[in-house]
Amino acid sequence: MRRRSSRLEEEEGGGGSKTTSASSSSSIPPLAPHRQHCTQVRTRRLMKELQEIRRLGDNFITVELVEDNLYDWNVKLHQVDKDSALWQDMKETSTEFILLNVTFPDNFPFSPPFMRVLTPRLENGYVLDGGAICMELLTPRGWSSAYTVEAVMRQFAASLVKGQGRICRKAGKSKKAFSRKEAEATFKSLVKTHEKYGWVSPPVSDG
């Protein structure tokens, strides 16, 4: 997996542009120093990554901010392995991209983002109920601050194919939207199970 450059790592340690000063209103307390630092690191990192993604020329992914929120991205995955059944599904159903939502916590990049599939509705490919994604690198234990969003998306694209992901075409079910609440609950259960058994197939009783 591609990791970000050492230059990016150095920039997160300090320096960078100053953030806009807090409101002078006495009713709004300033951010605690530690939290303010985390916010600055997250902002610098995401702005840098967004610029790099937009410079990509291979049309692998494109990003749109949700309501101009730098910490909430809709990511369009335009390409998977062209020899895969999933790519054939995309062609046959005129699906131009797989849409994912990625949200970044306050302490990103030191904690992983939460990522889920929005559309189309997928089966297998390590995509679970609600659009939750079964990937160790998206868990606190498997995450590294060196991972870039682009690298995570490339790993996800590979996992879709490896897990024999397909676009759901069942009547009724294919039109049912994934929900964030269900995705969060599924992912929380997934992490708990793998913390107990490791990243191997758990006993049947645990799903």
Q: What positions carry a catalytic annotation?
A: 134
Nearby residues of 186 by Cβ (< 8 Å), 6 or more positions away = 128, 129, 130, 132
**Other residues' Cβ atoms within 10 Å of the Cβ of residue 200:** 6
Report residue 134 as tokens. Answer: 């079964």
Picking from 128, 146, 136, 140, the residue whose alpha carbon sits closest to that of residue 184 is 128
What sign does the CA torsion over 45, 50, 51, 56 have?
Answer: positive
The CA-based dihedral angle spanning residues 27, 28, 33, 37, taken in that order and rounded to the nearest 10 degrees: -170
**H helix and E strand count, the chain:** 5, 6
Task: Tell me whether residue 203 is exposed, middle or buried, using C-beta atoms within 10 angstroms of its C-beta: 0 to 12, 13 to 18, 19 or more.
Answer: exposed
Question: How long, in residues, is the chain?
Answer: 207
